[in-house]
Amino acid sequence: VQLQASGGGLVQAGGSLRLSCAPSGRAFGSYATGWFRQAPGKEREFVAVISWRAGRTYYTNAVEGRFTVSRDMAKTTVYLDMNSLKAEDTAVYYCASREDYCSGYGCFREDEYKYWGQGTQVTVSS
């Protein structure tokens, strides 16, 4: 199973972008789908996650209040709406899905995500 992340691009600081993540190939069961990002020279970090059944969401502090993660169950697609973008949001954004339950900071561990997308570049110019 592959995940397809899309929607990245170049935007000015203060602008907005919407990222999408959808599975290709066969449908699969998933507890939650999350977003991670990796800036140049830095380790990949957790951004946000949403559980499929309850729609429970968690965010890293750096994006809380600016980013919103949502899901469309009919399309099995997860979105990341990014507003008030800052230069420090520049990174390659990855979506990933996990099969196991998580809650709070337990959702931040990337080694617990089984399926990953290829990444989409987001560049915020200041």
pLDDT in tens, 17-43: 999 999 876 555 689 999 999 999 999
Q: Give residue 27's pLDDT.
A: 54
Q: Give residue 75's pLDDT.
A: 87
pLDDT in tens, 63-76: 999 999 999 988 88
C-alpha pair distances (Å), 39 with each of 52, 64, 101: 27, 18, 28
Round to the nearest angstrom and report the end-to-end CA distance of the chain: 37
Partner residues linked to 95 by β-bridges: 35
Residue 123 has pLDDT above 90, yes or no: yes
Q: When comparing pLDDT for 80 and 28, which is higher?
A: 80
